[in-house]
Structure 1
């Protein structure tokens, strides 16, 4: 029986661990926290998983919260003008619903399930020196912990990383009491509010430790008026600033947030990081090799909501390659090939995400504006969040965008 060690207990690490476990592999997961510590800790992300990523969970029977989590059936875009009016506002319908489950709920539950099914869980922080030993004791070591010392083993790939500094400051609040969007009171949607020159406000339904809730998520351009959360430690002050920025820049969202309260004392998060693609293979001092997983090797800015989706894609891709490899050694060539298989899925996400971090070109503004009058365009942009590879066909090139809009207008004439 092949022995595999996975360092990190997030979306990718646990999805992969549970998938390998179901195929009879001897799997150990190392986590720096127990399931109870995860469940009782601070929020970790703003995950919204679209239909393809959710299917990866269903394929492994891991969709434990599907009947409890809110079903998000649309994705809407609003653009704020300098006077805080809304010249653009539309919503596209998703082909399959999306869902968000607070990672405190999901990761704690999955970690407990992995242990209940006989998996080994080691609760301990891991240093590079620890991995030097483990690489000799296991057939394969995967690093799925996207923060801390271990990431330094994986060199930045400059050819795939156009940014070397954070492009947004991030601030998250999980809340109860948010009112419905009057434009579509009969279904739930993720709302993306673009504030040119300032940043973005995302509002999304979620399931958290205290039940159904909503996430208020500001992404601020560094140095701008939304980049004000770094020194805030008090959760209530964090929420107050969040709401004040909503009142100033997105009053239509503020109007339905008049009665919100934080879901819990751990319901806020702030930070920033540079979007980076890294080399997939880390070399240990002894010469042993480890393979990076998900955001260890492809860390995109959350502006397109792809973090947990990429993690699910990575886990599914790596699982297929591990199973196909049989009893052969997990050498450098295999590791690099396995990553490139995943990169074929992650590259379109990275291209789109990096494009959205800069000022939108004229033809993209034209697409976003046209979506308000052309529902097929709104729907296609919305469903691109599930299949970002589709943006290659109409989003990046002005000629393709113009041809696409012309075709839609003809069809609707």
Structure 2
């Protein structure tokens, strides 16, 4: 009798559920551990990113799970760069390339939940429990392979920072993310920027203050929506505005204000967008120091574990 090799995965976000489904389909005995149940993972935490799949990443993803989503697709990006400050501020560059493929921006909570559902339907095990360093050692001792996918927090500190590949010691941007609704993805939206209109994402750059990404998005409940990420330079005018945001309404107000002052040609469209009332955690703010960690660590009992996703980079 042959015993199937076992895999333990700590974390049920996109990285953990993708790995779990892949290993399960490859014939492994897989258990995913999470400190939240399935409903909480889908409905009570914010999406930790926009999760756009570009080009080859979609091909690789298709090896794990087929494309389940028709909304949130784009074929290019409309870019505008402004330089200078005050009266000297002026447009410097604009271009509107097609990717040559279709990208997709889908709520990470939906992607992960769909993967978890497939994982459970195919016989995978899902255990809701808090994993700390002590029981990680027990789990790793019982499994043939243990992967840690708990994100930038959680168990990431178990993995030493790779100093040779970590160039920064502080965040390079203040970040604000929010999903808004009320405008469709049709070709008439932002048509003055691109023939593709709402079929292209927007990327506005300001040399003094940072960058602002806007893209068609598939929200887990609302469907066709728009996702925003503000990348604010710590020394610029946008950073303090982000620090003053405390809810989705404040996030929308801050972004609308930035567009009105810095990108007024886009402001009339942005002003039409509203918060998603059914999803009070549709926003996120913070700052991240770009960090690369060693891929493998050893538990207190001498068991090797590997980091994937944001736990590693």
Structure 2 CA distance, aligned partners of 1:149 and 1:61? 27
Aligned to 2:66: 62
Give the aligned CA root-mean-square deviation in angstroms. 1.7
1:271 is the counterpart of 2:286 = yes
1:253 is the counterpart of 2:266 = yes
Q: Is the 8 A contact 1:80 1:249 kept in 2?
A: no
Pairing partner for 1:112 from 113, 117, 120: 117
What SS does structure 2 have at the residue aligned with 1:13?
Answer: helix
TM-score normalised by structure 2 residue count: 0.89
State the shift of 1:85 in Å: 4.5
Structure 2 CA distance, aligned partners of 1:297 and 1:9? 15
The size of the alignment, in residue pairs, is 296
Distance 1:285 1:231, change over 3 A: farther
Structure 2 CA distance, aligned partners of 1:63 and 1:235? 29
Pairing partner for 2:149 from 144, 149, 156: 144
User: Which protein is richer in strand relative to its size?
Assistant: 2
State the shift of 1:44 in Å: 2.2
Structure 2 residue runs without a partner (length 5+) = none
Q: Is the 8 A contact 1:35 1:112 kept in 2?
A: no
State the shift of 1:105 in Å: 1.2
Structure 1 CA distance, aligned partners of 2:6 and 2:287? 36
For residues 79-98 of structure 1, what are the structure 2 equivalents within 5 Å? 79-81=81-83, 82=85, 83=87, 85-98=90-103
State the shift of 1:231 in Å: 4.5
Structure 1 residue runs without a partner (length 5+) = 299-413
1:181 is the counterpart of 2:190 = yes
Q: Is the 8 A contact 1:128 1:149 kept in 2?
A: no
User: Which protein is richer in helix relative to its size?
Assistant: 1
Q: Which runs of 4+ in 1 moved over 4 A?
A: none
State the shift of 1:27 in Å: 0.4
What SS does structure 1 have at the residue aligned with 2:53?
Answer: coil
1:292 is the counterpart of 2:307 = yes
State the shift of 1:225 in Å: 1.3
Q: Is the 8 A contact 1:163 1:276 kept in 2?
A: yes
What SS does structure 1 have at the residue aligned with 2:217?
Answer: strand
Structure 2 CA distance, aligned partners of 1:257 and 1:185? 19
Distance 1:198 1:293, change over 3 A: same
